[in-house]
Amino acid sequence: MTSYSESQRLLAEASSCLAGGVASSLRAAMKPVPLYAASASGSRIRDVDGNEYIDYLLAYGPSVLGHAHPGLIERIHRAMQHGITFGLQHEGELALAKRLTEILPCADQVAFSGSGTEAVMLALRLARAYTGKRRIVRFHGHYHGWSDGIFTSFPSADMRVSGAVGGAADTILPGTAGQSESSLEDIILLPWNDEQAIESLLRDSHADIAAVITEPVMCNSGCIAPKPGYLEKLRELTAELGVVLIFDEVITGFRLALGGAQQRFGITPDLMTMGKALGGGIALSAVGGKRDIMKLIEDGTVSHLGTLNGSGVAMAAGLATIDELERNDGEALARMERLADSLTGGLRTLLEQHGIQGVVNGIGPVFHFMFVPLAEVTDFDAFSKRDSARYATFAELMLQEGVLVRPSGLWYVSAAHTEQDIAATLAAADRVLARLA
Ligand SMILES: Cc1ncc(COP(=O)(O)O)c(C=O)c1O
């Protein structure tokens, strides 16, 4: 029987001085206990009880190169020796900004910050200032960080969908106590992947709407791909009606392709946000966009602030991550994709063999595994029918088998995973699904 006693002991001790016992609320959900990590390298992570896991949580996404990647560590170490952060400009900022403007199709310029939440805040501010309009369209089931201006209850069915601007169904529930309801007054919530809904809203109300923000793949609720033509339609409509199109590529950036989903799908938004994989595990996020929007920062129209923005360490981490992902013609991303394909294919086969109804939705090295009585999950309503409790049990049993997966069902594959890891993971899933069936 796997022991988690040391994690349990530390959690109890932390609960007296660390609010909730964890550093980010979501982490409290892990069963049987939120694990305490001792160390991690490559695709493996070890907890304080001496258990070792193949890691598909990957720190909720950032560890795209795997843990403790030697190239990344060496570059961060070298940067630290020159000073961790300066509060002055330095060549690292210039170098990373240049590389990103070459890599990201929509980015004539970039601006740096520390988290995906901050990048989204800046992108929304830029869109409002650029258009002189105030309302923002966002979609059911998408997540754009936890700032008051966009955080809705998530990913729950009690998010109300806006019928029309100012209409009766227009109230959106805040995501948390302490968040002013008025902070969401400017948000319009629509179902995603529904061309008619966005077209009729934008045609009626574009005079009030500054931006449409979307995850290009709905990674946060079921890894649902855009329907053929949907992102193209968003692009066409927003361009025609003077609305800024923002791709939130905090998950898809440096993952679906080096240039993100916009490169993979060939659709260029006006603004984009990146975070997670951008710093390979160091706090770093960015907004990229068209020059005429980004220049609002340069001319002082839009404030962009942050004490630690552009730190020497973060810039070195971003540059090293790009170098590693670009090495040998992008071999790492191609391998991640191949391994993810064999993992998702293997999981689908196992579901069939065990007679368990489930869906594995994936695109590139990020996918969602869920137990759901449906042949496919292509929208938020279908995603809401999944059996979360059963999946949490699956995740808990996988831990006992030496595989760490997020209790919600989202998996990441890193550049450090190997074919042996995938084979071991599928063998573990086989045993666990046999128990569940
Ligand atoms: C699509 C998306 N946008 C924004 C965020 C917020 O990023 P952070 O947690 O770094 O603030 C997340 C985090 O999961 C995300 O998935």
105-160 pLDDT tens trace:
999 999 999 999 999 999 999 999 999 999 999 998 999 999 999 998 665 555 55
Task: Give distance in angstroms: CA of 61 to centre of ligand 1.
Answer: 10
Task: Give distance in angstroms: CA of 160 to centre of ligand 1.
Answer: 21
Domain over 86-310 is classified CATH 3.40.640.10: yes
- The torsion defined by the Cα of 30, 221, 344 and 285, in degrees rounded to 10, comes to -80
Q: How much is the mean pLDDT over the chain? A: 94
CA 18 to chain centre: 25
Is any atom of ligand 1 closer than 6 Å to the C-beta of 248?
Answer: yes
Which segments within 60-142 are labelled E, that is strand? 109-113, 135-139
How much is the pLDDT for 173? Answer: 79
Helix 312-353 × helix 70-81 angle, to 10°: 160
Using one digit for the tens of pLDDT, what is the confidence trace for 390-404? 999 999 999 999 999
Query: Residue whose CA is closest, atom 7 of ligand 1?
Result: 116
Domain layout of the chain by residue ranges: 5-68+330-436, 86-310
Active centre residues (catalytic): 143, 248, 276
Task: Give distance in angstroms: CA of 25 to centre of ligand 1.
Answer: 14
Q: What number does the ligand 1 atom closest to the CA of 24 have? A: 9
- Single out the residue of 348, 388, 385 nearest to residue 367, CA to CA: 348
Name the CATH superfamily for 5-68+330-436.
Aspartate Aminotransferase, domain 1 (3.90.1150.10)
- For residue 271 the two structure tokens come to 């603004």
Query: Over 50: is that where the pLDDT of 165 sits?
Result: no
- For residue 436 the two structure tokens come to 């569940």
Q: What number does the ligand 1 atom closest to the CA of 215 have? A: 1
The Cα 433–Cα 411 span in angstroms is 17
